[in-house]
Structure 1
């Protein structure tokens, strides 16, 4: 049985989520109050319907109870986003991811029990800023207040060295969790793995520690 998802709000973020989930072969229920947007995703989602997500009777009639994970991607209407999230919690949806417009919105979502809250524009801004400022960091993703995952290019400075010789954990407090070489990905590379120019190290650590390592190479 395929995993079932629902995306509520088919703006740029919700629409891209809908397409990405559908491309992975998952069942997606797409919901929006705008008929034009719903028609746009009718051929992409498993089901696309025009509906008011704050109406409990309507949502239950759509079988929302059977959905494993709901993404609330409602745009500017913060009230509708909050009411929808609250309704989903009352119905008993186990996983609810909500797009927040600002910090106040996020605080309310936390209080009413959203499982995950995201700020797509802010998060993307942070990622792009790191890519623009850094000469070696290809991508950057903050996964918690403590840990960040970054893709770091191997430079002339460390090319030819082994992971053991870099001694990253002791020197910088970082760990290499995987390495990309051309199209191949090596998970948990051994300490004797020798690095080559243009390899990409997938690293995890505190942002300040990753920055210290990046500045050293």
Structure 2
């Protein structure tokens, strides 16, 4: 298959269950070319008009993957959910073929360990990750949203603690004191990307910060 990208990065999504369909559609809506693959022809036909291209193929078959030009894709997402064996075998085939970046979803702790050992660059456990996200939001008084980047690092939206309000980023010294980087500030309907050190943190601002979970907890403690 000849693949002609419309955007800089190309994505392939293998498995058109609920998670696979949602992530494929989200990437397509963001303007990327997306190839969706599933062995079930009925699913392929149902999804045929949703993304750039949809094909029926057995992703555990190396020849089938190569015929789809899978090496042309920057990121391949293995979204096979219930069939653990197919999920693992597909990830292994992609790794052996030489796909540059593989994201695989997992349902159990054991599956996470196996996928990591065979070389998945990122393993996503939707149920676990969502449970942690909800728990974090419920337990926190000033964290608006939370995304785990790894077991030790996260990106969060956090209300500005009282002690830091009406101070500039330089004065608050968040990076040096708390080991956190402020990547953006949400102010009403505006989003300030890469704010300058002179940007003042206002009462109703929401800071988007990235750093270790320990550092995030330290910043949150300021409000207590």
TM-score by shorter chain over 0.5: yes
Q: Which residue of 1 aligns with 2:165?
A: 159
- Check whether the contact 1:19–1:44 (CA below 8 A) recurs between aligned residues: yes
Q: Which residue of 2 aligns with 1:118?
A: 124
SS of alignment partner, residue 70 of structure 1:
strand
Please tell me whether residue 96 in structure 1 is matched to residue 102 in structure 2. Answer: yes
Q: Which residue of 2 aligns with 1:131?
A: 137
TM-score normalised to structure 1 length: 0.88
Residues in 1 aligned to 2:122 and 2:146: alpha-carbon distance in whole angstroms: 19
Which stretch of the first structure deviates more once superposed, 54-63 or 87-96?
54-63
Residues in 1 aligned to 2:24 and 2:167: alpha-carbon distance in whole angstroms: 43
Which stretch of the first structure deviates more once superposed, 174-183 or 80-89?
174-183
Which stretch of the first structure deviates more once superposed, 1-10 or 131-140?
1-10
Please tell me whether residue 144 in structure 1 is matched to residue 146 in structure 2. Answer: no
Residues in 2 aligned to 1:168 and 1:62: alpha-carbon distance in whole angstroms: 48
- Check whether the contact 2:14–2:78 (CA below 8 A) recurs between aligned residues: yes
Residues in 2 aligned to 1:193 and 1:9: alpha-carbon distance in whole angstroms: 45
Moved over 4 A (4+): 155-158
Q: CA deviation at 1:82?
A: 1.1
Q: Which residue of 1 aligns with 2:66?
A: 60
Which stretch of the first structure deviates more once superposed, 150-159 or 36-45?
150-159
- Check whether the contact 2:133–2:147 (CA below 8 A) recurs between aligned residues: yes
Unpaired runs of 5+ in structure 2? none
Q: CA deviation at 1:158?
A: 4.2
The one of 54, 65, 76 equivalent to 1:70 is 76
Residues in 2 aligned to 1:193 and 1:27: alpha-carbon distance in whole angstroms: 37
- Check whether the contact 2:107–2:127 (CA below 8 A) recurs between aligned residues: no
SS of alignment partner, residue 87 of structure 1:
helix
Aligned residues: 217
The one of 13, 22, 38 equivalent to 2:19 is 13
TM-score normalised to structure 2 length: 0.86
Q: CA deviation at 1:155?
A: 5.5
The one of 14, 29, 33 equivalent to 1:27 is 33
